[in-house]
Chain A
Amino acid sequence: MAEDPITGIVCPIRLDYTITPGRAQTRFLRGLENGKLLGQRCPATGKVYMPPRGSSPTHGLPTTEEVEVADRGTVTTFCIVNLQFASTVREIPYVCAQILLDGADIPFFFVVQEVDVNEIRMGMRVEAVWKDPSEWGPTLENILFFKPTGEADAPRESYKEHV
Protein backbone atom coordinates (compact mmCIF):
# COMPACT_ATOMS: atom_id res chain seq x y z
CA MET A 1 0.00 0.00 0.00
CA ALA A 2 1.48 3.32 -1.02
CA GLU A 3 2.00 5.76 1.81
CA ASP A 4 1.03 9.41 1.56
CA PRO A 5 3.65 11.65 -0.02
CA ILE A 6 5.80 13.64 2.39
CA THR A 7 4.61 17.24 2.65
CA GLY A 8 6.31 18.32 5.85
CA ILE A 9 9.17 17.46 8.15
CA VAL A 10 10.07 18.27 11.73
CA CYS A 11 13.63 19.50 12.29
CA PRO A 12 14.83 19.70 15.90
CA ILE A 13 17.48 22.24 16.78
CA ARG A 14 19.47 22.33 19.98
CA LEU A 15 22.24 24.77 20.74
CA ASP A 16 24.08 24.88 24.05
CA TYR A 17 25.44 28.14 25.41
CA THR A 18 27.53 29.24 28.34
CA ILE A 19 26.27 32.73 28.89
CA THR A 20 28.17 35.40 30.78
CA PRO A 21 26.66 38.62 32.11
CA GLY A 22 29.64 40.93 31.63
CA ARG A 23 31.11 43.27 34.22
CA ALA A 24 28.15 45.56 34.88
CA GLN A 25 25.55 42.85 35.15
CA THR A 26 27.90 40.75 37.25
CA ARG A 27 27.98 43.57 39.82
CA PHE A 28 24.20 43.73 39.67
CA LEU A 29 23.88 39.97 40.23
CA ARG A 30 26.44 40.06 43.05
CA GLY A 31 24.35 42.78 44.66
CA LEU A 32 21.28 40.57 44.51
CA GLU A 33 23.22 37.89 46.32
CA ASN A 34 23.30 40.34 49.25
CA GLY A 35 19.73 41.52 48.86
CA LYS A 36 20.67 44.76 47.13
CA LEU A 37 19.41 46.23 43.86
CA LEU A 38 22.33 48.05 42.25
CA GLY A 39 21.67 50.39 39.37
CA GLN A 40 24.21 52.44 37.45
CA ARG A 41 24.21 56.14 36.64
CA CYS A 42 24.64 57.71 33.20
CA PRO A 43 27.56 60.16 33.45
CA ALA A 44 25.88 62.53 30.99
CA THR A 45 22.29 62.71 32.26
CA GLY A 46 22.56 61.39 35.83
CA LYS A 47 19.76 58.91 35.15
CA VAL A 48 19.98 55.58 36.95
CA TYR A 49 19.53 52.41 34.91
CA MET A 50 18.24 49.28 36.62
CA PRO A 51 19.16 46.58 35.81
CA PRO A 52 22.39 48.07 34.42
CA ARG A 53 24.07 46.74 31.29
CA GLY A 54 27.26 48.75 31.55
CA SER A 55 26.32 51.55 29.24
CA SER A 56 24.09 54.54 29.01
CA PRO A 57 21.89 53.64 26.04
CA THR A 58 21.13 57.28 25.28
CA HIS A 59 24.77 58.35 25.15
CA GLY A 60 26.83 55.21 24.52
CA LEU A 61 28.96 55.95 27.57
CA PRO A 62 30.12 53.50 30.23
CA THR A 63 28.08 53.72 33.42
CA THR A 64 30.61 53.42 36.19
CA GLU A 65 28.88 54.90 39.24
CA GLU A 66 26.89 52.31 41.16
CA VAL A 67 23.67 53.43 42.87
CA GLU A 68 21.61 51.32 45.24
CA VAL A 69 17.91 51.67 44.53
CA ALA A 70 15.01 50.76 46.80
CA ASP A 71 13.15 47.46 46.64
CA ARG A 72 9.89 49.37 46.48
CA GLY A 73 8.45 51.57 43.80
CA THR A 74 5.52 52.64 41.66
CA VAL A 75 3.57 50.69 39.06
CA THR A 76 3.84 52.68 35.82
CA THR A 77 1.83 50.29 33.70
CA PHE A 78 0.60 46.71 33.94
CA CYS A 79 -0.92 43.73 32.19
CA ILE A 80 -3.38 41.19 33.56
CA VAL A 81 -2.45 37.80 32.17
CA ASN A 82 -5.40 35.49 31.47
CA LEU A 83 -3.66 33.04 29.16
CA GLN A 84 -1.82 29.94 30.27
CA PHE A 85 1.51 29.92 28.47
CA ALA A 86 3.53 26.72 28.21
CA SER A 87 6.25 28.10 30.47
CA THR A 88 3.91 29.66 33.05
CA VAL A 89 4.05 28.29 36.56
CA ARG A 90 1.67 30.84 38.10
CA GLU A 91 -2.07 30.51 38.43
CA ILE A 92 -4.00 32.77 36.11
CA PRO A 93 -5.07 35.49 36.19
CA TYR A 94 -1.96 37.25 37.46
CA VAL A 95 -0.44 40.70 37.06
CA CYS A 96 2.77 41.71 35.29
CA ALA A 97 3.84 45.29 35.84
CA GLN A 98 6.46 47.83 34.96
CA ILE A 99 7.75 49.08 38.30
CA LEU A 100 9.72 52.30 38.73
CA LEU A 101 11.83 51.56 41.79
CA ASP A 102 12.52 54.52 44.06
CA GLY A 103 15.89 55.90 42.95
CA ALA A 104 15.81 54.40 39.46
CA ASP A 105 14.99 56.20 36.21
CA ILE A 106 13.78 53.26 34.20
CA PRO A 107 10.98 50.88 35.19
CA PHE A 108 11.60 47.19 35.27
CA PHE A 109 9.37 44.22 34.73
CA PHE A 110 8.06 42.01 37.51
CA VAL A 111 5.08 40.03 38.71
CA VAL A 112 2.74 41.63 41.26
CA GLN A 113 0.86 39.34 43.59
CA GLU A 114 -1.30 39.59 46.71
CA VAL A 115 -3.42 42.04 44.79
CA ASP A 116 -6.89 41.55 43.33
CA VAL A 117 -6.44 41.86 39.57
CA ASN A 118 -9.29 44.38 39.61
CA GLU A 119 -7.36 46.58 42.07
CA ILE A 120 -4.07 46.88 40.14
CA ARG A 121 -3.58 50.39 38.78
CA MET A 122 -1.01 52.86 37.55
CA GLY A 123 0.57 54.69 40.47
CA MET A 124 0.08 51.84 42.92
CA ARG A 125 2.95 51.56 45.39
CA VAL A 126 4.49 48.08 45.61
CA GLU A 127 7.39 46.40 47.40
CA ALA A 128 9.50 43.32 46.80
CA VAL A 129 8.84 40.09 48.65
CA TRP A 130 12.17 38.32 48.98
CA LYS A 131 12.92 34.68 49.50
CA ASP A 132 14.54 33.72 52.78
CA PRO A 133 18.16 35.08 52.72
CA SER A 134 19.50 31.54 53.11
CA GLU A 135 18.20 30.86 49.60
CA TRP A 136 19.69 33.94 47.94
CA GLY A 137 21.94 33.56 44.93
CA PRO A 138 23.16 35.85 42.15
CA THR A 139 19.74 35.96 40.53
CA LEU A 140 16.56 38.01 40.33
CA GLU A 141 14.77 34.85 41.44
CA ASN A 142 15.65 36.01 44.98
CA ILE A 143 12.59 38.20 44.63
CA LEU A 144 9.42 36.12 44.62
CA PHE A 145 7.11 38.93 43.51
CA PHE A 146 6.04 42.45 44.36
CA LYS A 147 3.00 43.24 46.50
CA PRO A 148 1.11 46.43 47.36
CA THR A 149 2.60 48.47 50.23
CA GLY A 150 -0.72 50.03 51.19
CA GLU A 151 0.72 53.54 50.79
CA ALA A 152 -1.25 56.21 48.99
CA ASP A 153 -0.85 56.05 45.20
CA ALA A 154 2.05 58.01 43.73
CA PRO A 155 0.97 61.15 41.85
CA ARG A 156 1.03 60.75 38.08
CA GLU A 157 3.60 63.56 37.86
CA SER A 158 6.13 61.31 39.61
CA TYR A 159 6.11 58.62 36.92
CA LYS A 160 4.44 60.04 33.79
CA GLU A 161 7.80 60.33 32.03
CA HIS A 162 8.22 56.56 32.34
CA VAL A 163 4.90 55.32 31.02
Chain B
Amino acid sequence: MRDVAVVSFAQAPNLRADRERNEVEIVMPVVREALDSVGLEQSDIGFTVSGSCDYLTGVPFSFVMALDAVGAWPPIEESHVEMDGAWALYEAWVRLQHGDIDTALIYSFGKTSLTDLDKVMSCQLDPYTLMPLWPGGISLAGLQASAMLAAGTVSEADMAAVASHSREAAQGNPAIPEAEGPADVDELLSRPRVAHPLREHDIAPSTDGAAAIVLVAGDRAAEVCDKPAWISGIDHRVDTHAPGNRDLTTCPSARMAGERAGAGRGGIEVAEVYAPFSHQQLLLASELGLGDGVDINPSGGALAGHTFMVAGLARIGEAARRIHDGTASRVLGHATAGPCLQQNLVCVMEAGR
Protein backbone atom coordinates (compact mmCIF):
# COMPACT_ATOMS: atom_id res chain seq x y z
CA MET B 1 0.00 0.00 0.00
CA ARG B 2 1.07 3.53 -0.73
CA ASP B 3 1.49 5.82 2.29
CA VAL B 4 -1.19 8.51 2.29
CA ALA B 5 -1.62 11.25 4.88
CA VAL B 6 -4.24 13.78 5.91
CA VAL B 7 -2.26 17.03 5.64
CA SER B 8 -4.98 19.61 6.18
CA PHE B 9 -8.50 19.98 7.48
CA ALA B 10 -10.90 22.90 7.47
CA GLN B 11 -14.54 23.20 8.39
CA ALA B 12 -17.27 25.81 8.40
CA PRO B 13 -18.96 26.61 11.70
CA ASN B 14 -21.80 24.16 12.31
CA LEU B 15 -24.82 26.50 12.48
CA ARG B 16 -28.45 25.59 13.11
CA ALA B 17 -29.40 27.65 10.05
CA ASP B 18 -26.81 29.35 7.84
CA ARG B 19 -29.52 31.31 6.06
CA GLU B 20 -27.29 33.94 4.53
CA ARG B 21 -25.14 31.62 2.44
CA ASN B 22 -25.91 29.13 -0.29
CA GLU B 23 -23.97 25.88 -0.53
CA VAL B 24 -21.27 27.34 -2.78
CA GLU B 25 -20.76 30.26 -0.43
CA ILE B 26 -20.37 27.85 2.51
CA VAL B 27 -17.99 25.48 0.71
CA MET B 28 -15.72 28.02 -1.02
CA PRO B 29 -13.87 29.43 2.04
CA VAL B 30 -13.49 25.95 3.52
CA VAL B 31 -11.85 24.56 0.39
CA ARG B 32 -9.68 27.66 0.16
CA GLU B 33 -8.53 27.28 3.77
CA ALA B 34 -7.73 23.58 3.35
CA LEU B 35 -5.62 24.29 0.26
CA ASP B 36 -3.96 27.48 1.57
CA SER B 37 -2.85 25.86 4.81
CA VAL B 38 -0.61 23.49 2.86
CA GLY B 39 0.29 25.95 0.12
CA LEU B 40 -1.54 24.13 -2.67
CA GLU B 41 -3.72 25.43 -5.50
CA GLN B 42 -6.57 23.56 -7.18
CA SER B 43 -4.22 23.10 -10.14
CA ASP B 44 -1.91 21.09 -7.83
CA ILE B 45 -4.70 18.64 -6.96
CA GLY B 46 -4.80 15.33 -8.84
CA PHE B 47 -8.28 14.21 -7.80
CA THR B 48 -11.24 16.05 -6.31
CA VAL B 49 -14.15 14.21 -4.71
CA SER B 50 -17.15 15.41 -2.74
CA GLY B 51 -19.91 13.99 -0.59
CA SER B 52 -23.41 15.43 -0.29
CA CYS B 53 -27.12 14.53 -0.38
CA ASP B 54 -29.39 15.89 -3.10
CA TYR B 55 -32.46 15.35 -0.93
CA LEU B 56 -31.21 18.07 1.42
CA THR B 57 -31.34 20.67 -1.35
CA GLY B 58 -34.27 19.16 -3.24
CA VAL B 59 -32.30 19.54 -6.45
CA PRO B 60 -31.05 16.57 -8.49
CA PHE B 61 -27.30 16.69 -9.16
CA SER B 62 -26.93 19.64 -6.79
CA PHE B 63 -23.34 18.54 -6.20
CA VAL B 64 -22.48 19.70 -9.73
CA MET B 65 -23.37 23.27 -8.79
CA ALA B 66 -21.19 22.98 -5.69
CA LEU B 67 -18.19 22.49 -7.98
CA ASP B 68 -18.42 26.23 -8.62
CA ALA B 69 -16.69 26.56 -5.25
CA VAL B 70 -13.62 24.66 -6.37
CA GLY B 71 -12.47 26.22 -9.62
CA ALA B 72 -12.93 23.28 -11.93
CA TRP B 73 -11.34 24.81 -15.03
CA PRO B 74 -9.55 23.55 -17.08
CA PRO B 75 -11.67 20.43 -16.45
CA ILE B 76 -10.51 18.51 -13.40
CA GLU B 77 -10.62 14.84 -12.50
CA GLU B 78 -13.60 14.79 -10.22
CA SER B 79 -16.03 12.44 -8.49
CA HIS B 80 -18.91 12.54 -6.06
CA VAL B 81 -20.52 10.17 -3.57
CA GLU B 82 -24.08 10.51 -2.30
CA MET B 83 -22.62 9.78 1.12
CA ASP B 84 -20.90 11.50 3.99
CA GLY B 85 -17.58 13.01 2.92
CA ALA B 86 -15.75 10.25 4.81
CA TRP B 87 -16.68 7.90 1.98
CA ALA B 88 -15.43 10.49 -0.49
CA LEU B 89 -12.16 10.38 1.43
CA TYR B 90 -12.12 6.61 1.11
CA GLU B 91 -12.54 6.92 -2.66
CA ALA B 92 -9.70 9.45 -2.76
CA TRP B 93 -7.48 7.13 -0.73
CA VAL B 94 -8.17 4.31 -3.20
CA ARG B 95 -7.53 6.66 -6.12
CA LEU B 96 -4.17 7.66 -4.64
CA GLN B 97 -3.21 3.98 -4.46
CA HIS B 98 -3.10 3.99 -8.27
CA GLY B 99 0.19 5.79 -7.92
CA ASP B 100 -0.08 8.26 -10.81
CA ILE B 101 -1.16 11.24 -8.70
CA ASP B 102 -0.07 12.44 -5.25
CA THR B 103 -2.78 14.81 -4.10
CA ALA B 104 -6.51 14.73 -3.51
CA LEU B 105 -9.05 17.26 -2.28
CA ILE B 106 -12.13 16.00 -0.45
CA TYR B 107 -15.03 18.21 0.59
CA SER B 108 -18.56 17.73 1.74
CA PHE B 109 -21.45 19.95 2.65
CA GLY B 110 -24.88 19.73 4.17
CA LYS B 111 -27.49 22.43 4.51
CA THR B 112 -30.02 20.63 6.66
CA SER B 113 -31.94 23.79 7.58
CA LEU B 114 -33.67 23.84 4.18
CA THR B 115 -35.89 20.89 4.97
CA ASP B 116 -36.74 18.35 7.66
CA LEU B 117 -33.74 16.05 8.05
CA ASP B 118 -35.76 13.52 10.01
CA LYS B 119 -38.12 13.19 7.06
CA VAL B 120 -35.26 12.93 4.57
CA MET B 121 -33.89 10.08 6.68
CA SER B 122 -37.07 8.12 5.93
CA CYS B 123 -36.38 8.36 2.21
CA GLN B 124 -33.27 6.18 2.52
CA LEU B 125 -35.28 3.26 3.89
CA ASP B 126 -36.77 0.25 2.15
CA PRO B 127 -39.45 1.80 -0.09
CA TYR B 128 -41.94 -1.07 0.27
CA THR B 129 -42.24 -1.77 3.97
CA LEU B 130 -40.46 1.04 5.83
CA MET B 131 -40.40 4.31 3.93
CA PRO B 132 -44.21 4.50 3.45
CA LEU B 133 -44.52 4.66 7.25
CA TRP B 134 -42.07 7.64 7.49
CA PRO B 135 -40.47 6.54 10.75
CA GLY B 136 -37.64 9.12 10.60
CA GLY B 137 -34.10 8.89 11.90
CA ILE B 138 -34.84 9.96 15.46
CA SER B 139 -37.52 7.33 16.05
CA LEU B 140 -35.32 4.60 14.58
CA ALA B 141 -32.50 5.65 16.89
CA GLY B 142 -35.03 5.59 19.72
CA LEU B 143 -35.80 1.97 18.87
CA GLN B 144 -32.11 1.16 19.07
CA ALA B 145 -31.76 2.94 22.41
CA SER B 146 -34.75 1.07 23.84
CA ALA B 147 -33.28 -2.26 22.74
CA MET B 148 -29.93 -1.40 24.32
CA LEU B 149 -31.55 -0.19 27.55
CA ALA B 150 -33.65 -3.36 27.75
CA ALA B 151 -30.58 -5.50 27.16
CA GLY B 152 -28.74 -3.61 29.87
CA THR B 153 -25.79 -2.71 27.64
CA VAL B 154 -26.31 0.99 28.45
CA SER B 155 -28.16 3.01 31.05
CA GLU B 156 -29.86 6.35 30.77
CA ALA B 157 -27.17 7.74 33.06
CA ASP B 158 -24.47 6.43 30.70
CA MET B 159 -26.23 8.20 27.84
CA ALA B 160 -26.55 11.43 29.80
CA ALA B 161 -22.84 11.22 30.67
CA VAL B 162 -22.00 11.08 26.96
CA ALA B 163 -24.15 14.15 26.36
CA SER B 164 -22.70 16.00 29.33
CA HIS B 165 -19.15 15.36 28.12
CA SER B 166 -20.07 16.38 24.58
CA ARG B 167 -21.50 19.71 25.72
CA GLU B 168 -18.52 20.42 27.92
CA ALA B 169 -16.04 19.57 25.18
CA ALA B 170 -17.89 21.57 22.52
CA GLN B 171 -17.49 24.78 24.54
CA GLY B 172 -13.88 24.85 23.41
CA ASN B 173 -14.60 24.10 19.76
CA PRO B 174 -15.04 27.20 17.58
CA ALA B 175 -16.61 25.03 14.89
CA ILE B 176 -19.64 24.47 17.16
CA PRO B 177 -20.52 28.03 18.18
CA GLU B 178 -24.12 27.17 19.06
CA ALA B 179 -23.43 24.19 21.31
CA GLU B 180 -25.83 23.75 24.19
CA GLY B 181 -24.46 24.92 27.52
CA PRO B 182 -22.83 22.47 29.93
CA ALA B 183 -25.08 20.38 32.14
CA ASP B 184 -24.32 17.55 34.55
CA VAL B 185 -25.83 14.09 34.38
CA ASP B 186 -28.44 14.62 37.12
CA GLU B 187 -29.65 17.80 35.49
CA LEU B 188 -29.94 16.14 32.09
CA LEU B 189 -31.80 13.16 33.51
CA SER B 190 -34.32 15.45 35.17
CA ARG B 191 -35.45 16.74 31.79
CA PRO B 192 -38.42 15.25 29.91
CA ARG B 193 -38.17 12.62 27.24
CA VAL B 194 -38.90 13.89 23.75
CA ALA B 195 -38.85 10.58 21.86
CA HIS B 196 -39.08 8.02 24.66
CA PRO B 197 -36.59 6.73 25.68
CA LEU B 198 -34.59 9.60 24.19
CA ARG B 199 -34.29 13.01 25.81
CA GLU B 200 -33.29 16.13 23.95
CA HIS B 201 -29.65 15.75 25.00
CA ASP B 202 -29.51 12.27 23.43
CA ILE B 203 -30.31 13.69 19.98
CA ALA B 204 -27.86 15.79 17.99
CA PRO B 205 -29.13 19.17 16.80
CA SER B 206 -29.06 19.39 13.00
CA THR B 207 -26.74 22.00 11.61
CA ASP B 208 -25.53 23.46 8.31
CA GLY B 209 -21.89 23.26 7.38
CA ALA B 210 -19.05 22.00 5.22
CA ALA B 211 -15.62 20.46 5.63
CA ALA B 212 -12.59 19.83 3.47
CA ILE B 213 -9.52 17.62 3.75
CA VAL B 214 -6.41 17.37 1.61
CA LEU B 215 -4.72 13.99 1.24
CA VAL B 216 -1.15 13.76 -0.01
CA ALA B 217 0.76 10.55 -0.79
CA GLY B 218 4.37 9.65 -0.14
CA ASP B 219 7.24 12.06 0.46
CA ARG B 220 5.23 15.02 -0.78
CA ALA B 221 3.09 14.86 2.36
CA ALA B 222 6.04 15.76 4.55
CA GLU B 223 6.97 18.58 2.15
CA VAL B 224 3.64 20.37 2.65
CA CYS B 225 2.92 19.48 6.29
CA ASP B 226 5.14 19.36 9.40
CA LYS B 227 3.22 16.52 11.02
CA PRO B 228 1.19 14.57 8.46
CA ALA B 229 -1.46 12.22 9.85
CA TRP B 230 -0.53 9.00 8.04
CA ILE B 231 -3.44 6.67 7.34
CA SER B 232 -2.31 3.32 8.73
CA GLY B 233 -5.65 1.61 8.18
CA ILE B 234 -8.99 2.45 6.59
CA ASP B 235 -12.00 0.20 6.04
CA HIS B 236 -15.77 0.42 5.72
CA ARG B 237 -18.44 -2.22 6.22
CA VAL B 238 -22.21 -2.41 6.05
CA ASP B 239 -24.94 -4.25 7.95
CA THR B 240 -28.20 -5.33 6.34
CA HIS B 241 -30.47 -2.37 5.71
CA ALA B 242 -33.61 -3.47 7.53
CA PRO B 243 -33.32 -2.45 11.20
CA GLY B 244 -35.73 -5.27 12.12
CA ASN B 245 -33.32 -7.86 10.71
CA ARG B 246 -30.46 -6.69 12.91
CA ASP B 247 -29.61 -7.06 16.56
CA LEU B 248 -29.57 -3.33 17.25
CA THR B 249 -27.64 -3.77 20.48
CA THR B 250 -24.55 -4.71 18.47
CA CYS B 251 -22.86 -3.29 15.41
CA PRO B 252 -20.92 -5.98 13.53
CA SER B 253 -20.03 -3.66 10.65
CA ALA B 254 -18.37 -1.16 12.98
CA ARG B 255 -16.51 -3.94 14.76
CA MET B 256 -15.23 -5.42 11.52
CA ALA B 257 -14.25 -2.08 10.01
CA GLY B 258 -12.42 -1.25 13.23
CA GLU B 259 -10.57 -4.54 13.28
CA ARG B 260 -9.54 -4.24 9.65
CA ALA B 261 -8.40 -0.64 10.09
CA GLY B 262 -6.28 -1.68 13.05
CA ALA B 263 -8.28 -0.08 15.86
CA GLY B 264 -7.84 -3.14 18.01
CA ARG B 265 -4.05 -3.02 17.93
CA GLY B 266 -4.17 -0.58 20.84
CA GLY B 267 -2.45 2.69 21.38
CA ILE B 268 -5.36 4.82 20.18
CA GLU B 269 -5.11 8.07 22.13
CA VAL B 270 -7.92 10.06 20.56
CA ALA B 271 -11.02 8.78 18.79
CA GLU B 272 -13.56 10.91 17.00
CA VAL B 273 -16.66 8.78 16.40
CA TYR B 274 -19.73 9.91 14.47
CA ALA B 275 -22.57 9.30 16.88
CA PRO B 276 -25.56 11.60 16.37
CA PHE B 277 -27.27 9.89 19.31
CA SER B 278 -25.73 9.41 22.75
CA HIS B 279 -26.25 5.65 23.00
CA GLN B 280 -24.52 5.18 19.64
CA GLN B 281 -21.27 6.58 21.02
CA LEU B 282 -21.36 3.95 23.76
CA LEU B 283 -22.07 1.17 21.26
CA LEU B 284 -19.28 2.34 18.97
CA ALA B 285 -16.77 2.62 21.81
CA SER B 286 -17.56 -0.97 22.69
CA GLU B 287 -17.42 -2.33 19.13
CA LEU B 288 -14.23 -0.41 18.28
CA GLY B 289 -12.55 -1.53 21.50
CA LEU B 290 -12.00 2.04 22.74
CA GLY B 291 -11.11 1.59 26.39
CA ASP B 292 -11.08 4.03 29.29
CA GLY B 293 -7.74 5.49 28.28
CA VAL B 294 -9.04 6.76 24.95
CA ASP B 295 -10.14 10.39 24.70
CA ILE B 296 -13.42 10.04 22.79
CA ASN B 297 -14.83 13.04 20.91
CA PRO B 298 -12.73 15.81 22.45
CA SER B 299 -14.26 18.08 19.77
CA GLY B 300 -17.72 17.61 21.26
CA GLY B 301 -18.58 15.28 18.40
CA ALA B 302 -21.62 15.19 16.17
CA LEU B 303 -23.85 15.14 19.25
CA ALA B 304 -23.04 18.83 19.81
CA GLY B 305 -23.68 19.87 16.22
CA HIS B 306 -24.62 17.46 13.47
CA THR B 307 -24.07 18.48 9.88
CA PHE B 308 -25.43 15.60 7.85
CA MET B 309 -22.97 14.49 5.11
CA VAL B 310 -20.14 16.37 6.83
CA ALA B 311 -19.94 14.97 10.36
CA GLY B 312 -18.00 11.84 9.34
CA LEU B 313 -15.40 13.70 7.29
CA ALA B 314 -15.12 16.19 10.15
CA ARG B 315 -14.48 13.33 12.60
CA ILE B 316 -11.51 12.20 10.51
CA GLY B 317 -10.35 15.81 10.28
CA GLU B 318 -10.73 16.45 14.00
CA ALA B 319 -8.77 13.28 14.79
CA ALA B 320 -6.04 14.17 12.27
CA ARG B 321 -5.81 17.62 13.82
CA ARG B 322 -4.49 16.00 17.04
CA ILE B 323 -1.58 14.63 15.08
CA HIS B 324 -1.05 17.89 13.19
CA ASP B 325 -0.77 19.80 16.47
CA GLY B 326 1.45 17.17 18.06
CA THR B 327 -0.90 16.27 20.92
CA ALA B 328 -1.40 12.65 19.82
CA SER B 329 0.48 10.04 17.83
CA ARG B 330 -2.25 7.47 17.06
CA VAL B 331 -5.86 8.51 16.45
CA LEU B 332 -9.08 7.12 15.03
CA GLY B 333 -11.77 8.78 12.93
CA HIS B 334 -15.11 7.07 12.40
CA ALA B 335 -18.07 7.78 10.15
CA THR B 336 -21.51 6.25 9.90
CA ALA B 337 -24.42 6.26 7.47
CA GLY B 338 -27.83 4.64 7.22
CA PRO B 339 -30.30 3.97 10.04
CA CYS B 340 -29.01 2.90 13.47
CA LEU B 341 -25.29 2.79 12.56
CA GLN B 342 -25.91 0.58 9.54
CA GLN B 343 -22.73 1.52 7.66
CA ASN B 344 -19.44 2.27 9.32
CA LEU B 345 -16.06 3.55 8.21
CA VAL B 346 -12.96 3.60 10.37
CA CYS B 347 -9.77 5.49 9.58
CA VAL B 348 -6.75 5.05 11.85
CA MET B 349 -4.00 7.66 11.55
CA GLU B 350 -0.49 7.81 13.00
CA ALA B 351 2.25 10.39 13.38
CA GLY B 352 4.89 8.11 11.87
CA ARG B 353 4.88 6.41 8.49
Is there a contact between chains A and B in the complex with CB atoms less than 8 Å apart?
Answer: yes
**A17 lies within 8 A of B69 (CB):** no
Is the beta-carbon distance between B114 and A24 smaller than 8 angstroms?
A: no
> How far apart are the CA atoms of A105 and B195 in the complex, in Å?
53
Q: How far is the CA of A59 from the CA of B69 in the complex (A)?
A: 8
Is B58 engaged at the interface, CB distance under 8 Å to the other chain?
yes
Binds B, one of A8-16, A94-102, A109-117, A142-150: A8-16
- List the B side residues contacting A56 at CB < 8 Å: 68, 71
Are the CB atoms of B25 and A54 closer together than 8 Å?
Answer: yes
Tell me if A35 counts as interface (CB < 8 A to partner B). Answer: no
Contact with B along A58-80 (1 / 0, CB 8 A): 11111000000000000000000
Q: Is the beta-carbon distance between A55 and B58 smaller than 8 angstroms?
A: no
Chain B positions 87-121 with a Cβ under 8 Å from a chain A Cβ: 113-116, 119-120
> Which residues of A lie under 8 Å from residue B65 when comparing CB positions?
53
Determine if A11 and B132 form an interchain contact, defined as CB atoms under 8 angstroms apart: yes
| Chain A residues with CB below 8 A from B70, complex form | 60
Judging by beta carbons under 8 Å apart, are B22 and A59 in contact? no
B52 to chain A, nearest CB (A): 15
The answer for the CA separation of A20 and B23 in the assembled complex, in Å, is: 10
Residues of B within 8 A of A60 (CB): 28, 31-32, 42, 68-72
Can you name the residue of chain A whose Cβ is closest to the Cβ of B128?
A9
Binary per-residue interface labels of chain B (22-59) against chain A in the complex, 1 for a CB within 8 Å, 0 otherwise: 11110010011000000000100000000000010110
Check B28 against A18 for contact (C-beta < 8 Å). Answer: no
Q: Report A-chain residues with C-beta under 8 Å of the C-beta of B20.
A: 20, 22-23
| CB proximity of B107 to chain A, nearest CB, Å | 11
Residues of B within 8 A of A23 (CB): 20-22, 25
Smallest CB gap from B23: residue in A = A22
Contact A15 B32 (CB under 8 A): no
The answer on a CB contact under 8 Å between A17 and B71 is: no
Please, which residues of chain B bring their CB within 8 A of the CB of A62?
25, 28
Contact B58 A22 (CB under 8 A): no
Tell me the nearest residue of chain B to A44, going by C-beta. B71
Q: Cβ of A24: which chain B residues have Cβ within 8 Å of it? A: 22, 25
In the complex, the answer to whether A17 meets B128 with C-beta atoms within 8 Å is no
Q: Contacts of A25 on B, CB cut-off 8 Å?
A: 22
Inter-chain contacts of A16 with B (CB < 8 A): 115-116
In the bound complex, residues from chain A placing their C-beta under 8 Å from that of B116 are 15-16
Name B213-247 residues within 8 Å CB distance of A: none
Q: Shortest CB–CB separation between residue B118 and chain A, in angstroms?
A: 11
Q: Is the CB of B131 within 8 A of A11?
A: yes
Cβ of A1 under 8 Å from chain B:
no
> Which residues of B lie under 8 Å from residue A58 when comparing CB positions?
71-73
Within 8 A of A (CB), among B104-157: 113-116, 119-120, 123, 127-128, 131-132
Contacts of A21 in B (CB 8 A): 22
Q: What is the bound-complex CA distance between A54 and B70, given in angstroms?
A: 12
Bound state CA distance, A16 and B115, in angstroms?
6
Q: B265 at interface (Cβ–Cβ under 8 A)?
A: no
Residues of A with C-beta under 8 A to B191: none
CB pair A20–B114 under 8 Å, yes or no, is: yes
Contact in complex: A19, B73 (CB < 8 Å): no
Would A22 and B21 be within 8 Å (CB), given that A15-B119, A60-B31 are in contact? yes
Determine if B337 is an interface residue (Cβ-Cβ < 8 Å). no
**A162–chain B nearest beta-carbon distance, Å:** 15
Give the Cβ gap from A106 to chain B, nearest Cβ, in Å.
Answer: 12
A33 vs B8: C-alpha distance when bound (angstroms): 43
Considering the chains assembled together, what is the distance between the CA atoms of A56 and B131 in angstroms?
A: 40
Most-contacted residue by chain B among A24, A53, A55, A59 (CB, 10 A): A55
Query: A15-B119, A19-B58, A19-B114 in contact; A57/B67 too (CB < 8 A)?
Result: yes
A47–chain B nearest beta-carbon distance, Å: 11
A24 CA / B22 CA spacing, docked (Å): 9
Chain B residues, Cβ within 8 Å of A59:
71, 73
Which residues of the partner chain A approach B55 to less than 8 Å between Cβ atoms?
15
Q: A11-B127, A62-B28 are in contact. Are A57 and B22 (CB under 8 A)?
A: no
Residues of chain A with a CB closer than 8 A to B69's CB:
55, 60
Question: Which of B22, B42, B67 is close to A54, meaning CB atoms less than 8 Å apart?
Answer: B22
Pick the 7 closest A-B CB pairs, nearest first.
A22-B22, A60-B71, A58-B73, A57-B68, A59-B71, A17-B115, A55-B68
Could you write out 28 A-B pairs with CB less than 8 Å apart?
A11-B127, A13-B123, A16-B116, A17-B57, A20-B19, A20-B22, A22-B20, A22-B21, A22-B23, A22-B24, A22-B25, A23-B20, A23-B21, A23-B22, A23-B25, A25-B22, A55-B24, A55-B28, A56-B68, A56-B71, A57-B67, A57-B71, A57-B73, A59-B71, A60-B42, A60-B68, A60-B69, A62-B28
Other CB < 8 Å A-B pairs besides A54-B22, A57-B72, A58-B73, 9 of them? A17-B57, A22-B22, A53-B65, A55-B25, A55-B68, A58-B71, A59-B71, A59-B73, A61-B28
